[in-house]
Structure 1
Amino acid sequence: MLALSPAIALRGSPPVCRATVGACVLAVAAGWPGGCSAQDQDFQETLVSPALLAQMRRGGFVLYLRHGATDSSRVDQAPQVDLNDCNTQRVLSDAGRQQARELGVTLQRARIPVGEVIHSPLCRARESAQLTFATQPQLLRAEPLLAYTANLTSEQKKPVIAATRALVSTPVPAGTNRVIVAHAPNMADLMGYFVKPEGTMVVLRPLGQSRFEYLGSIPPSHWAALLPASSKR
């Protein structure tokens, strides 16, 4: 299981993120808090194919999951957010909780093996992880360095982005996948991709040495196409 610390997160050679479509190619210094430069903002999302889903069943991937749908009437009370008090944070809506439960069932039906689930310390990410993997609580652990970057200054973002890069680039053993449950701004800062809607899963191939490859995304509505009713078990 990957163990992360600030010291590990801030090491590494310059990362390269290759998108399978679009022209978002990153080659940034390990400590730089940004992702794509202005000229690289034509990043294009691509949907995961059935062929890629079949590969995911064999493991070796990082699955970056944006937390479930949230209650838009509430906002994070930054900079006074208390990680131990969900009343100071934007939280999952009832629909988001149901979405997370349904995703757990879907992942089981899809037969996608998961070896670890690393989640942001914020309530909406933690609850998403808990509900999605309710039958596997032993896989879950919080990572403080996955904090929501939209609430942070440029300097505060640096270790968070470095930690995220470490988590998505460190190789995953065959036969299992690493799940990260976190936030859209973190990915936008890392690779110029604002993940939406809430509940979308991003599939990445970790390449080691701070490098990773974007392969595709699964918005909540796309699971029905990947797993037609006749193939569900």
Structure 2
Amino acid sequence: MKAFVFCLMAIGALGFSQTHASEKDAWAALREGRAVLMLRHALAPGTGDPVGFVLGDCSTQRNLSDTGREQARAWKAFLAEHGIDEARVFSSQWCRCVETAQEMNMGPVTEWPALNSFFRNRGDGPQQTRETIKLVNSLGQGAPVLMVSHQVNVTALTGIFPASNEGVILALPLSESPDILARVAPGQ
């Protein structure tokens, strides 16, 4: 019986080290420009957008809560732990995404309409996903790439339903069936 328990523990430890090594490889790929990080904005209570939503007017939108702002700020230290001190940051034009990107404090934020939510207009999803793939694949070498978007966008590209403030490291080049290297979030 002791030998059986020992074997189970050894197999479990082997599985853990492979998973850990895989995440370690994902972070290396992100640092080295062989992957990108796409994340869902931090906590903005509610679902979808309020009636009367106006893209350029944050007072008409769901916005980050205080907890959401704390979540977004946690990315700075989390990324630094993995050797990333600056990044090229791209965001949906929705206020909750722009604010998440700004609170991350990883570099200037560039708004990409392709990352905008298509929650209300699901038919726009395939075109926006293709445009996101095209934009990412056209980027040259440089600092790591971070994209802040919405659940529907992340799910359309990856098949993953991310929690608020959760990200997915995706291998480059991106495709409509991307290679998912890791799911990550500060405090995991």
Letter in 2 for 1:203: I
Paired position in structure 2 for 1:105: 77
Q: Map 1:1-233 to 2 at 5 A.
A: 49-72=23-46, 76-78=49-51, 80-112=52-84, 114-133=86-105, 136=107, 139-154=108-123, 156-170=124-138, 173=141, 176-195=143-162, 197-207=163-173, 212-222=178-188
Once superposed, which parts of structure 1, at least 4 consecutive aligned residues long, lie more than 4 Å away? 168-172, 208-211
Deviations along 1:21-75, whole A, 9 cap, x unmatched?
xxxxxxxxxxxxxxxxxxxxxxxxx886234324433332111011111123x75
Aligned residues: 169
Conservation of the 8 A alpha-carbon contact between 1:75 and 1:89: no
**TM-score, structure 2 normalization:** 0.76
Shift of 1:168: 4.6
Give structure 2 stretches of 5+ with no counterpart: 1-18
Conservation of the 8 A alpha-carbon contact between 1:122 and 1:147: yes
1:212 alignment partner, SS class: coil
1:128 alignment partner, SS class: helix
For 1:191 and 1:119, the matched residues in 2 are separated by: 17
Of the two, which has the highest radius of gyration? 2
Change (3 A) 1:205 1:172: farther
Change (3 A) 1:153 1:210: closer
1:217 alignment partner, SS class: strand
Conservation of the 8 A alpha-carbon contact between 1:60 and 1:205: yes
Letter in 1 for 2:27: L
Deviations along 1:165-201, whole A, 9 cap, x unmatched?
224545662x632111001111222332222x11111
For 1:51 and 1:161, the matched residues in 2 are separated by: 25
**TM-score, structure 1 normalization:** 0.63
Give structure 1 stretches of 5+ with no counterpart: 1-45, 223-233
Give the RMSD, CA atoms, in angstroms.
Answer: 2.6
Conservation of the 8 A alpha-carbon contact between 2:23 and 2:181: no
Letter in 2 for 1:86: C
Change (3 A) 1:71 1:210: closer
Identity of aligned residues (%): 29
1:220 alignment partner, SS class: coil
2:180 alignment partner, SS class: strand
For 1:216 and 1:189, the matched residues in 2 are separated by: 17
